[in-house]
Structure formats: structure tokens, C-alpha cells
């Protein structure tokens, strides 16, 4: 009886996911195809928050300095209380490639009630708006490298579509065993949580963005009250997307033109990356935590167990659900040029993500949640 009930839930869940959730698994929202150029190119200011990013900031900044963007493009790097010489590296890179206006701001103290990255962004945005008066703000991370046409394509898409937010999900590094076993699943789960077709649809409340690359219409950000309206958000990109969608259409897609050069060489590094924000995604709710882990178990982990250890109809349903998840994972695996056999491992990978989510809640209880390069996110509510 238990096997039949679990099989029914798993089977129905996969019918819903494949047929009624925006066809998320196909990955159709992409930054490819022809983009119509603009008659007048808007003024853009890129803001790059950087905390202890000396190892990657040069490559990221070079990619912005080498943009083929026809309009005015300036860059503000915010050294977020680094102690590894990030500002020095950024300054040397800017001097080696003159031609674009580059401002380097040093932040020495985190303001009370602000998440670290959002505070850094706020300081950079103030400088950008004061000095350059941009039509659009490009918020991009210090580990992100842009192809030469990245900004021009973003600007054209944003202006032609009337988007207040245009965001690209950066192509993540995927070379180590830890990355190959986690990165495609991360992208898959993100699209499942926030189907990109629903993000685009104004009639849907679903809103999301990828914080590594967000082009925001400056007047829309001012109208909603500025970046300070999400001052304590650990998952700042999705929080900002929810705010901006109330002011106009937004767009989110996959890309090969924007990529992250941050490496995760060990499983421990991946665990820390996921645990940092997993519990925040659940609103720090223990009930949502229980529901999430149970849902992951029923939808992703139960099918192979049914296929291997049950008989009759539950066995067939489990086998079909396992095959469905493996097949739905294939477009993401192709994007990262990995073997299709990784699709069969998705239940095991999901088990690890469930453990990371539990660890995220545990770290929150210990008041160690949201750790990033020595800084702890202390503004989240405490468990009672």
C-alpha cells in the first residue's frame, strides 16, 4: 500500500513537471539568435561588487573593458572590505586598458541591517548615478567574464523588449568532479523553481534573476525605492526581480556569452556554496524545510527505489519516473557537454542537495548562516 501511494505521488509529480510547468526542462529561453541593433544606444554603468576577488577580478574587468558596446559604458568596482589586494589588481587592470571610465570604490564597513553584497551594490550605484547618469545599470559579479558583444546584446534586448530587468544565467565552470556532479543539477533545479517562460509572462507572479548578470533600467530601480528595498536579502537577485516585475516586464535566459570563472574543486566547496542560501530560499521556515525535503524524496529519490525494490505497478511507475527525470535532464547536460548517463544519477545528486539544505538550516540555528568569505549573514530571523 505504501509503495503504491508513493508511486502515485511520484508519477503524478512528473506528469505535472513535464507537462504543466512551463516546459522548463527544455531550456528554450536562451541568449542566441539575431538581436536588432538600436538607433540610439543607452548610457550604461556596470557595477561590480568584489570581496576578496584578487584572483578573478582582472579577467572580469578586462572583459568589460573590451566590450564592443557602441554607446557610453562606464565601470564602477566596489572593493567590499577586501584584504587580498582586490582594489590594487583592479586598478592595475584599468590602467593597462584605458578607454573606458573606471571608478574603484573602497567600502570599509558594513552598514547595520544590510546584506554584504547589497551594501556594496548600493555604494556602487550611488557613484554610478552621480557620475555617469546611466539609463541602465549592469550589476555583474567579479567572477563573471563577458564575451565582447555581451553588453550590446543585453542593451538591445532590454530596449527592444521594454524590459526593466534583463538577466542572463551565466555558464558556470564545470570541470572538476564536484562541479560536474552538481552544476548541471543546480541549473536544472533553478529552472524548475522559476520556469523562465513564467518569469517572462507578465500575467504570472513568478520572478527570478541571476545575480551574476543583471541589466536594470535605472529609472525603474529608482521608482521602486532603490536597492535599499532589498537591503537584507541574502538571495538579492530574485528579491530584486520580484520588486521590479511589479514595474514592468522582465526577462531571464541561458547563455554561452557570460560565464563564471569561479571554481569549485571539492565537494566541501560546493556544499558551502549551496548551504549559504538554501534555507534563505525557504524563508527560514522549518515547515517549508520539512516539506521541501519530503518533496525531494518523493519526486526524485523514491522513483529509483521503487524501480529497484518494488514489484508490479509501483515498479513500472518508479521506472517510468526515473526515466522521465533522466530524459528531462538531458538538455542541461548537453549545455554543459556531459555524458547523458549523468541523468541516471540525478536521484543521488538530489540526495546531496537535500543534505545541503538541512545543513543550511543547521548553520542558521548556529548563527553561522549565509557565510561568504568570512562574513556571516546576521540579519535573518532566528528559529524559536
Is residue 180 domain-shared with residue 300, that is, in the same domain? no
Co-location of 138 and 222 in the same domain? yes
Q: What is the domain-level CATH number for residue 60?
A: 3.90.550.10
CA dist., res. 248 & res. 126, Å (int): 23
58 with 20, same domain: the answer is no
Which uninterrupted H or E stretch holds 136? strand 136-140
Mark whether 213 and 301 lie in a shared domain. Answer: no
Is 100 within 8 Å of 24 (Cβ atoms)?
no
User: What pLDDT shows up at residue 52?
Assistant: 93
| pLDDT for res 364 | 87
Residues in the chain, total:
384
104 has which bridge partners? 77
Q: Which of 205, 233, 267 is the last residue of a domain?
A: 267
Judgement on whether residues 238 and 286 belong to the same structural domain of the protein: no
Q: Based on the domain organization, do 160 and 256 belong to the same domain?
A: yes
Domain residues for 42? 27-267
Domain-located, residue 376: no
The structure's pTM equals 0.94
Helices (H), 196-345: 196-200, 218-223, 236-245, 267-281, 286-296, 302-309, 312-328, 330-335
Kindly report, residue by residue over 123-134, the tens digit of the pLDDT.
999 999 999 999
* 145 and 207 share one domain: yes
C-alpha torsion sign, points 172, 175, 179, 184: positive
381 belongs to a structural domain: no
Whether residue 124 is contained in a domain is answered as yes
382: in domain = no
Per residue in 168-193, is it b (16+ CB within 10 Å) or e — as a string? bbbbbbbebebbbbbbbbbbbbbbee
In a domain, 371, yes or no: no
The pLDDT score that the predictor gives to residue 375 is: 67
What is the 8-class DSSP label of residue 297? I
Question: Residue 85: inside a domain, yes or no?
Answer: yes
Query: Which DSSP category does 37 fall into?
Result: P
- 223 falls within a domain: yes
Query: Using the 8-state DSSP alphabet, how is residue 266 labeled?
Result: S
- My answer on whether 36 and 8 are in the same domain is no
List pLDDT tens digits, range 26-84. Answer: 999 999 888 888 999 999 999 999 999 999 999 999 999 999 999 999 999 999 999 99
Give pLDDT < 50 ranges for the chain. 382-384
Query: Residue 55: inside a domain, yes or no?
Result: yes
**What is the reported pLDDT for 382?**
45
User: Angle at Cα 257 formed by Cα 253 and Cα 262, nearest 5°?
Assistant: 95
Please check whether residues 239 and 280 belong to one and the same domain: no
pLDDT attached to residue 260 = 97
On whether both 155 and 65 belong to a single domain, the answer is yes
Residue 96: per-residue pLDDT:
84
Nearest CA to 334 out of 27, 18, 22, 23 is that of 27
Q: 368-374 — which CB contacts under 8 Å span 24+ positions?
A: 369/276, 369/279, 369/280, 370/115, 370/234, 370/276, 370/277, 370/280, 371/272, 371/276, 372/51, 372/116, 372/117, 372/276, 373/51, 373/52, 374/52
| Residue at a domain's end among 267, 297, 319 | 267
pLDDT of amino acid 329: 98
| Domain closes at, from 267, 283, 315 | 267
Residues 277 and 343 in one domain: yes
Domain count of the chain? 2
Give yes or no: residues 263 and 273 share one domain. no
Amino acid at each position: 500500500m505504501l509503495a503504491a501511494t508513493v508511486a502515485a505521488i511520484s508519477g503524478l509529480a512528473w506528469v505535472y513537471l513535464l507537462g504543466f510547468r512551463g516546459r522548463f526542462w527544455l531550456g528554450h529561453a536562451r541568449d542566441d539568435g539575431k538581436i536588432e541593433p538600436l538607433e540610439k544606444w543607452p548610457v550604461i554603468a556596470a557595477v561590480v561588487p568584489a570581496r576578496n576577488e584578487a584572483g578573478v577580478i582582472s579577467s572580469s574587468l578586462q572583459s568589460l573593458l573590451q566590450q564592443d558596446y557602441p554607446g557610453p559604458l562606464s565601470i564602477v568596482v566596489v572593493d567590499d572590505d577586501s584584504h587580498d589586494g582586490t582594489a590594487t589588481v583592479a586598478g592595475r587592470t584599468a590602467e593597462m586598458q584605458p578607454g573606458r571610465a573606471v571608478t574603484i570604490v573602497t567600502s570599509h564597513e558594513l552598514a547595520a541591517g544590510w546584506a554584504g553584497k547589497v551594501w556594496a551594490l548600493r555604494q556602487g550605484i550611488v557613484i554610478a548615478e552621480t557620475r555617469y547618469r546611466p539609463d541602465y545599470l549592469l550589476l555583474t559579479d567579479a567572477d563573471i567574464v563577458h564575451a565582447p558583444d555581451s553588453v550590446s546584446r543585453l542593451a538591445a534586448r532590454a530596449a527592444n523588449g521594454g524590459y526593466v530587468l534583463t538577466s542572463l544565467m551565466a555558464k558556470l565552470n564545470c570541470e572538476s568532479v564536484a562541479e560536474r556532479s552538481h552544476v548541471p543539477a543546480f541549473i536544472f533545479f533553478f529552472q524548475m523553481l522559476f520556469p523562465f517562460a513564467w518569469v517572462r509572462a507578465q500575467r504570472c507572479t513568478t520572478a527570478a534573476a541571476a545575480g551574476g548578470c543583471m541589466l536594470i533600467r535605472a529609472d525603474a530601480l529608482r521608482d521602486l525605492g532603490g536597492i535599499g528595498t532589498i537591503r537584507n536579502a541574502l538571495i538579492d537577485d530574485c528579491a530584486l526581480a520580484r520588486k521590479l516585475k511589479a514595474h514592468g516586464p522582465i526577462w531571464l535566459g541561458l547563455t554561452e556569452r557570460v560565464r563564471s570563472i569561479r571554481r569549485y574543486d571539492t565537494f566541501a566547496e560546493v556544499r558551502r556554496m549551496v548551504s549559504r542560501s538554501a534555507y534563505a530560499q525557504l524563508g527560514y521556515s522549518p515547515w517549508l524545510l520539512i516539506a521541501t525535503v519530503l518533496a525531494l524524496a518523493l519526486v526524485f529519490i523514491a522513483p529509483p527505489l521503487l524501480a529497484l525494490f518494488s514489484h508490479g505497478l509501483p515498479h513500472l511507475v518508479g521506472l517510468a519516473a526515473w526515466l522521465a527525470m533522466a530524459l528531462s535532464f538531458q538538455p542541461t547536460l548537453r549545455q554543459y557537454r556531459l555524458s547523458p548517463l549523468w541523468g541516471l544519477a540525478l536521484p543521488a545528486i538530489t540526495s546531496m542537495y537535500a543534505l545541503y539544505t538541512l545543513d543550511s538550516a543547521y548553520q542558521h540555528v548556529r548563527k553561522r548562516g549565509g557565510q561568504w568569505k568570512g562574513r556571516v549573514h546576521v540579519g535573518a530571523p532566528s528559529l524559536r
